Amino acid sequence: MLNEIEVKSAIPFEFIKDPIYGYIRLYEHERDILDTPSFQRLRRVKQLPSVGFVYPGATHTRFAHSLGVMYLSGFFTKHLLGPFKSKISDDTSSHFFFLTRLWGLTHDLGHGPFSHAFDEAVLGGLRLDHEYMSAKIVQEDEDIAGIITKKLKDFDISPKTLAEYLGKSREEWTQPERLGDTEHSEAAFYYVLKGFYSTDIIDYLLRDNLYTGAGYGSFDWQRLILSSHLCKDEVALESKARDTLDAFLLSRLFSFNTIYYHRWSRAVDYIIKRFLRKASEKLDFKSYTADVNEYRKLDDESILHLNELSGIPERNMLLNRIIPFRQIDQVVHPVPDIPLIGEDYLNASLSEKLNEEVPDEAYFVDTPNLPLSPMLGETDVPILDTSTSPPKVSHEPVRHTSWGEVPYSVWTIRLYLDIRYKEKQEKVKEAFRSLLKAETKLRTHY
């Protein structure tokens, strides 16, 4: 039976229906945040902007995903704190319950048009990312900051508190506060927010598989959460649930292969990024990121209909699904724990080999690298052995699954060609294969 904390709350709530979790409780301050223009903008930012070109059902948005992550974060937090009702005050429990739900609700507020493509093509050039913009919005959007300040003061949550959660890296949890009279600390909530099986990852796997129909979202997410426990600065998974973790890993592996790294959606991603880079030459995106009121004017639809961008060829391609690139070659390899060759380097090297015989815009190399550890830098997962007294935590390599060891990463190298240059196909393929033969001997040992 699930141990639940008693959440101290004078905040009324209502319910909203979600296709995955059923009825989600929505507290008054959360509903008010949903109704702000900055949050409503997420209805116009697709969760999978390029995947919708492959799977017609993939029209769901960052709005729905954020609600799902909010729900899961609260569910996870209540479970983790449940066994410590006598050692952690109601005030502390309520603080973290509402704080982690708010993190889930607002973690994607900073996504720009076409989500991660905007990060790479625009925000990266400004040395920003969507997490920075999320933290900026919760502090500088007058509506959102006002709601948090007014309605969460009694729970010791401010816009600054939330912004710190949105922006913290694992290394920044160096002096976390203790949770009441326990040996555990607030640093453990990092695993709820950004851990190996975080609420963000769980929701996007469930939701993206539902709406694409790909069918790889059937892992037991409830068992993952209910088999997790606070262990000092970490959240550890009971050893008997390791098979559930492996099922999650397989879901992620197949989802990336068939959804996020689908050969056609990657071609669309390339067109989107090319469009955004050309848009950066015509628009002052820095002015948008400097002012949260301006930033909320940007979404998937609005950017395609700006008069200043009407002459960009890729705009017409995206509006009319005219994608001229086709995959003409592919190499897939498991690789060891070493730096991989970047696609910028491969594209530049291929250009040198072709020596202007084929124009650069006629082809591109794509390297959708799939690390089997979802969060960068995380190679071990905390496992709790409950057969010992007291239970013992060990750190097992993520790759050591119950069905054998999996490679550190799966490296896919794809070659795409514009169909208007079909007569150059064999020449480009030959140069591509020659390049890989030379590079792989030096860099990847396969």
pLDDT digits (tens, 9 = 90+) for 223-233: 999 999 999 98
Contact indicator for 398, 196 with CB cutoff of 8 Å: yes
Of 98, 109, 103, nearest to 42 (Cα)? Answer: 109
pLDDT at 412: 85
CA pair distance 251, 270, nearest whole angstrom: 25
pLDDT per position as a tens digit, 323-372? 999 999 998 877 655 556 788 899 999 999 998 899 999 999 998 876 55
Main-chain phi, psi angles of 8, to 5 degrees: -75, 115
- The continuous run of DSSP H or E covering 417 comes out as strand 409-418
Which one has a higher pLDDT value, 95 or 340? 95
pLDDT at 2: 47
pLDDT per position as a tens digit, 239-274? 999 999 999 988 988 999 899 999 999 999 999 999
What CATH code would you report for 325-372+407-446? 3.30.70
Break the chain into its structural domains and give their ranges: 13-323, 325-372+407-446
Instruction: Tell me the torsion sign for CA atoms 168, 171, 175, 177.
Output: positive
pLDDT per position as a tens digit, 181-207? 999 999 899 899 888 899 999 999 999
User: Coil, strand, or helix at residue 287?
Assistant: helix
pLDDT at 1: 37
What CATH code would you report for 13-323? 1.10.3210.10
pLDDT per position as a tens digit, 144-155? 999 999 999 999
The DSSP line for 325-377 is: EEEEEEEEEEE-SSPPPPHHHHHHHHHHHHTTSS-GGGEEEE--EEESSSSTT
Q: What dihedral angle (degrees, nearest 10) is formed by the CA atoms of 134, 50, 200, 148?
A: 30
CA pair distance 428, 362, nearest whole angstrom: 10
